[in-house]
Amino acid sequence: MEGILLSSFIQYDPDAFISAEDLHHPHTSTIMVKQVQKEQLESSLYTNKSAVLIVDWQNTRSPAKSNVEVNHLIHNIILHPDFQLDQLRSFNAAQENQRADLAEAESPLLNTF
């Protein structure tokens, strides 16, 4: 085997039929194709992208979010004239609940006994 060139063993080049253009322009990955297909399916199933986001939120994590509760969130909270999305940029539920608990604990109304 010594002295035999490696090229004498290579009899088939699988890349021989790939054009230079195909090598220059990579194909769309399967992941991207699946994402586009998912988005097309969602757009045909739902009214709009906001509806997709809300229904996704409703159906993830806790199963306790009923249709009635989600409708309440949309119509009575998000669409309320005083609701301002920009005020929620740094929102943290744990911190807000802690503030409410502190305010309640310090309330003179609770110390009437």
Over residues 11-19, mean pLDDT: 71
Q: Is the pTM of this model over 0.75?
A: no
Give the integer Cα–Cα distance in Å for 73 and 69.
6
Cα Rg, the chain, nearest whole Å:
30
Give the integer Cα–Cα distance in Å for 66 and 2.
75
Residue 46 CB contacts under 8 Å (≥ 6 apart), including other chains = 52, 55
Instruction: Measure Cα distances from 95 to 20, 42, 84, 86, 91 in Å.
Output: 58, 34, 19, 17, 8
Tens of pLDDT, residue by residue over 78-96, are 999 999 999 999 999 999 9
The per-residue pLDDT for 113 is 54
The per-residue pLDDT for 89 is 95
Confidence of residue 109 (pLDDT cuts 50, 70, 90): confident
Residue 83 phi, psi dihedral angles, 5° rounding: -75, 125
Tens of pLDDT, residue by residue over 21-73, are 666 655 556 667 777 777 777 667 888 889 988 998 998 888 889 999 999 99
Q: Within a 10 A sphere around the Cβ of 44, how many other Cβ atoms?
A: 7
The full set of domain ranges for the chain reads: 8-105
The per-residue pLDDT for 27 is 58
